[in-house]
Amino acid sequence: MQVTHCRSYQEMSDLAASLVLEEMLKKPKLLLCAATGGSPEGLYRELARTARRERSLFNQLRVMKLDEWGGVPAYYPVTCDFFLKKKLLEPLGIPADNYISFASDPEDPEAECRQIRSRLKKEGPIDICILGLGRNGHLGLNEPGPQLEPFCHVAELSEASLQHGMIASLDRKPKYGLTLGMQEILSSRKIIMLVSGKEKKQVAKAFLEKKISTSLPASFLHLHPDVECLVDQTILN
């Protein structure tokens, strides 16, 4: 893992955008797995700024959603789908055919996960996976616990995840999570891990100690051969 300490959130976002664009120049049709939340938002803003100047760069880009809040109606503005469409897909002009997603409120969540597994098996592996460090060390919605799931699955949400800023204001919290599994994430050709947010100071320090544990799912990234970990240094001060 290559760890880069950035002087600010903006510097972290700029560097992440340059890494994505560098890979896109090599493979315009790459599959980008996209996380949501505050950590990658600046990266998506920079990609959108580039798209306003050079829209054609993104004509072939494929995007896959990393995770979703389960049991939440699709039209709610707190869904990961809503976030990605507003922050990434629409600004970059990504057509529906180039977006791999799963429903936030499926009739059969297990079947929805099987559909995603099948789609990823057909169209993957992921070329670049954008990740943020969860406040309890989760990766996607792979929560800390005695064991981790390898493939897309229905996840029981931890109390920390239920306090996430995207859903903190909801009276009725998500009933479960839908997320890619650890094997699918670790099979990505390249991973860009973004570490930001003052509330993550302690978990960020634990993550950077490079000790592997299912109690800190993000620690498994230390086993991957090509991870760019960008740290907003201001959160560690």
Mean pLDDT over the full length of the chain = 93
Distance CA 75, CA 137 (A): 29
Residue of 136, 142, 153, 232 with catalytic role? 136
User: Which CATH code is given to the segment(s) 2-235?
Assistant: 3.40.50.1360
Q: Is 143 a catalytic residue?
A: yes
Residue of 41, 68, 112, 138 with catalytic role? 138
Radius of gyration of the chain (CA): 16
Any idea what the Cα angle at residue 24 is, between residues 149 and 187, rounded to 5°?
20
Q: Is 171 a catalytic residue?
A: no
Categorize the per-residue pLDDT at 175 as very low, low, confident or very high, splitting at 50, 70 and 90.
confident
pTM given for the model = 0.94
Tokens describing residue 176: 């479960």
Only one residue has tokens 């099987």, namely 114
Distance CA 108, CA 113 (A): 9
Q: Write the pLDDT tens digit of every residue in 30-56.
A: 999 999 999 999 999 999 999 999 989
Q: Is 136 a catalytic residue?
A: yes
Q: Give the type of residue at 173.
A: K
Q: Is the pLDDT confidence value at 169 over 70?
A: no
The H-assigned helical ranges of the chain are 9-26, 38-53, 80-84, 90-92, 109-123, 159-162, 182-186, 201-207
Determine how many CB atoms are found less than 10 A away from the CB of residue 54: 9
For 210: left if phi > 0, alpha if psi spans -120 to 50, otherwise beta; the answer is: left
Q: Write the pLDDT tens digit of every residue in 117-126.
A: 999 999 989 9
Q: Could you please report the per-residue DSSP string of 44-67? A: HHHHHHHHHH-GGGGSS-EEEE-E
Distance CA 221, CA 215 (A): 13
**Cβ contacts of residue 150 below 8 Å, gap of 6+?**
181, 182, 183, 184
Q: Write the pLDDT tens digit of every residue in 85-137.
A: 999 999 999 999 999 999 999 999 999 999 999 999 999 899 999 999 988 99
Determine how many CB atoms are found less than 10 A away from the CB of residue 205: 11
Extents of the domains making up the chain: 2-235
Distance CA 33, CA 52 (A): 21
SS3 content of the chain, % helix, strand, coil (to 5): 40, 20, 40
Residue of 46, 68, 81, 143 with catalytic role? 143
Q: 175 vs 75, 108, 165, CA distance in Å? A: 16, 13, 16
